[in-house]
């Protein structure tokens, strides 16, 4: 593929930049393709095009916008296999994971296209009427990470455009290809300037957050970057949606059946090689079944194949980039330095590719780095607890509050526990169910605002109240 040159999408055109960089396949460390690094001037052009396009797009009939958002999903569907292969090579995930992500991107376009925000009549009495309605914000800036590059871009693009905004979106410099390819297809569908895709380094993200003509930033990434985004977005009081990091707990109650839940617990923790904001990252297990759960989990983990996603029998891929690979290796070294007990994995033996083996750590102290930090790699601490109040307190003892899960047969108890957890989403006896209709967002430092559902759609709108009276 190295001969394909990807392009920016600005004002409906495929555009090259003076500078470029290479996307790397994390399974082989080989170059995949060159992609453009947008200059500051090109960002200005993209924002100006989006601002011009806003004039017509914001007042178009919602049904026209719905049709075009659906057409974006159709375009991905028509090119599904190309996207799946591109995603495997740039992100590193296995085929099943890539199909799940691309299928999700199609589904989200199709489902969000059915949504709309109705006006609310607050009062209608005699000659007085009070109506609350939703108006688009203007140019929205989208900034996305490298773990689910296309799906998380669509989570922003579909509702932002449907609500009548225009957009400039920047993918992660580690995984720009699927999003740039999507931009090229969108150029054939949308009026010029409605959606602009610009790739570049972190400084491009910073320029977007400071840009005076961008009215809102919808950001998905780490909490530390999210804080910087919030700071620079204050320049013109940009609206913000921040989907940030997590250190999600799972609590296994004493009545859970270790054999039944081991497989689901594994995937809750290690799907996408644990490069998942909502991966279970701390697994609290009641002491009465701790050994059995640990045994079943390790036994299941041994059946899972890690490797190059181009081999269709592979379940788990490498970490996506060298930076994250080095970070997780450093975390493993810290576990070793502290003398922690590894039930599985721990030794990195990759000749090429950023592979970290599935690693399960036996009851480390609560202040270990592998418990306190978001690993964002396949390193899971199992933590023993005696009573449920203690488990809930330890689960909540974190700056994060993205998601959590509770596992047990007594559903009344499980739900009681779930409701005490400080997190935006809590699953009971499963994990990772998302939908265009289900609100998703973090508590505490895991974020600000909501994606998906009509609440998410409303975040791409201003509220306007119109109060009418006739002259007496």
Residue with Cβ nearer ligand NAD (256 or 277): 277
Binding residues (CB under 6 A) for ligand NAD: these are 143-147, 152, 170, 172-173, 202, 205-206, 209, 220-222, 225, 228-229, 243-246, 277, 374, 376, 402, 442, 447
Residue with Cβ nearer ligand NAD (143 or 392): 143
Are the beta carbons of 316 and 94 closer than 8 angstroms?
A: yes
Residue with Cβ nearer ligand NAD (52 or 327): 327
Are the beta carbons of 280 and 269 closer than 8 angstroms?
A: yes
Q: Is 409 strand, coil or helix?
A: coil
Q: Which of 45, 101, 109, 277 is catalytic?
A: 277
How far does Cα 325 stand from its chain's mean position? 19
Are the beta carbons of 150 and 102 closer than 8 angstroms?
A: yes
Give 61's DSSP letter.
-
Handedness of CA 409, 413, 418, 419 (dihedral sign): positive
Residue with Cβ nearer ligand NAD (403 or 414): 403
Whole-number Å distance between alpha carbons of 231 and 217: 12
* CB of 274 vs ligand NAD, minimal distance in Å: 10
Q: Which two tokens stand for residue 238?
A: 């940009």
Are the beta carbons of 39 and 199 closer than 8 angstroms?
A: no
Q: Is 282 exposed, middle or buried (0-12, 13-18, 19+ CB in 10 A)?
A: buried
Q: Which two tokens stand for residue 179?
A: 């999003």
Whole-number Å distance between alpha carbons of 389 and 296: 25
Whole-number Å distance between alpha carbons of 77 and 74: 5
* CB of 133 vs ligand NAD, minimal distance in Å: 29
Residue with Cβ nearer ligand NAD (164 or 246): 246
Residues 6+ apart with CB under 8 A from 179: 144, 149, 150, 153, 169, 171, 197, 199
Task: Let me know if 99 is a catalytic residue.
Answer: no
Residue with Cβ nearer ligand NAD (35 or 134): 35
* CB of 352 vs ligand NAD, minimal distance in Å: 22
Question: Which residue sits closest to ligand NAD, CB atoms considered?
Answer: 205
Task: Let me know if 277 is a catalytic residue.
Answer: yes
Residue 441 Cα distances to 278, 424, 446, 452, angstroms = 11, 5, 8, 9
Question: How do strand 379-385 and strand 359-362 relate by DSSP bridges?
Answer: parallel
Residue with Cβ nearer ligand NAD (101 or 243): 243
Q: Is 454 exposed, middle or buried (0-12, 13-18, 19+ CB in 10 A)?
A: middle
Are the beta carbons of 105 and 75 closer than 8 angstroms?
A: no
CA angle (324 as vertex; 320, 327 as ends), nearest 5: 155
Residue with Cβ nearer ligand NAD (256 or 448): 448
Residue with Cβ nearer ligand NAD (170 or 238): 170
> 3-state DSSP: the chain helix, strand, coil percent, rounded to 5?
40, 25, 35
* CB of 335 vs ligand NAD, minimal distance in Å: 20
Rg of the Cα trace of the chain? Answer: 23
* CB of 215 vs ligand NAD, minimal distance in Å: 16
* CB of 311 vs ligand NAD, minimal distance in Å: 26
* CB of 90 vs ligand NAD, minimal distance in Å: 13
Q: Which of 45, 90, 101, 243 is catalytic?
A: 243
Are the beta carbons of 105 and 79 closer than 8 angstroms?
A: no
Are the beta carbons of 408 and 293 closer than 8 angstroms?
A: no
* CB of 378 vs ligand NAD, minimal distance in Å: 14
User: Which spans in 246-344 are helix H?
Assistant: 258-270, 290-301, 322-337
Which residues carry out catalysis?
243, 277
């Amino acid at each position: 593929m190295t001969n394909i040159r990807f392009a920016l999408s600005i004002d409906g055109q495929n555009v090259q930049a003076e500078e470029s960089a290479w996307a790397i396949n994390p399974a082989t460390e080989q170059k995949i393709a060159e992609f453009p690094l947008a200059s500051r001037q090109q960002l200005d052009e993209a924002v100006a095009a989006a601002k011009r396009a806003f004039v017509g797009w914001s007042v178009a009939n919602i049904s026209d916008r719905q049709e075009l958002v659906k057409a974006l999903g159709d375009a991905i569907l028509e090119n599904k296999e190309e996207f799946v292969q591109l995603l495997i090579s740039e992100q590193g995930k296995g085929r099943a994971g890539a199909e799940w992500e691309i299928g999700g991107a199609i589904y989200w376009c199709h489902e969000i296209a059915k949504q709309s925000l109705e006006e609310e009549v607050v009062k209608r009495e005699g000659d007085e009427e009070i109506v609350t309605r939703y108006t688009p914000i203007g140019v929205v800036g989208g900034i996305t990470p490298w773990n689910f590059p296309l799906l998380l871009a669509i989570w922003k693009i579909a509702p932002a455009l449907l609500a009548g905004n225009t957009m400039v979106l920047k993918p992660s410099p580690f995984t720009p290809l699927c999003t740039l390819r999507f931009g090229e297809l969108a150029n054939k569908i949308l009026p010029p300037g409605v959606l602009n895709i610009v790739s570049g380094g972190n400084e491009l993200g910073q320029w977007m957050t400071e840009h005076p003509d961008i009215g809102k930033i919808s950001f998905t990434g780490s909490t530390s970057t999210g804080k910087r985004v919030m700071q620079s977005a204050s320049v013109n009081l940009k609206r913000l949606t921040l989907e940030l990091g997590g250190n999600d707990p799972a609590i296994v109650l004493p009545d859970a059946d270790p054999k039944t839940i081991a497989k689901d617990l594994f995937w809750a923790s290690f799907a996408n090689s644990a490069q998942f904001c909502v991966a279970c990252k701390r697994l609290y297990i009641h002491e009465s079944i701790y050994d059995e759960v640990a045994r079943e989990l390790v036994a299941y983990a041994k059946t899972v194949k890690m490797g190059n996603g181009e081999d269709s029998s592979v379940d788990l891929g490498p970490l996506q980039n060298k930076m994250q690979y080095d970070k997780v290796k450093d975390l493993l070294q810290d576990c070793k330095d502290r003398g922690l007990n590894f039930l599985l994995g721990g030794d990195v033996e990759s000749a090429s590719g950023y592979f970290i083996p599935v690693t399960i750590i036996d009851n480390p102290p609560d202040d270990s780095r592998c418990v306190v930090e978001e690993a964002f790699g396949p390193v899971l601490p199992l933590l023993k607890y005696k009573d449920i109040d203690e488990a809930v307190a330890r689960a909540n003892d974190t700056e994060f509050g993205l998601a959590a899960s509770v596992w047990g047969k007594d559903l009344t108890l499980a739900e009681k526990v779930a409701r005490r957890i400080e997190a935006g989403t809590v699953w009971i006896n499963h994990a990772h169910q998302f939908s265009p209709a289900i609100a998703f967002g973090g508590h505490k430092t895991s974020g600000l605002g909501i994606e998906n559902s009509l609440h998410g759609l409303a975040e791409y709108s201003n509220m306007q109240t119109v109060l009418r009276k006739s002259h007496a």
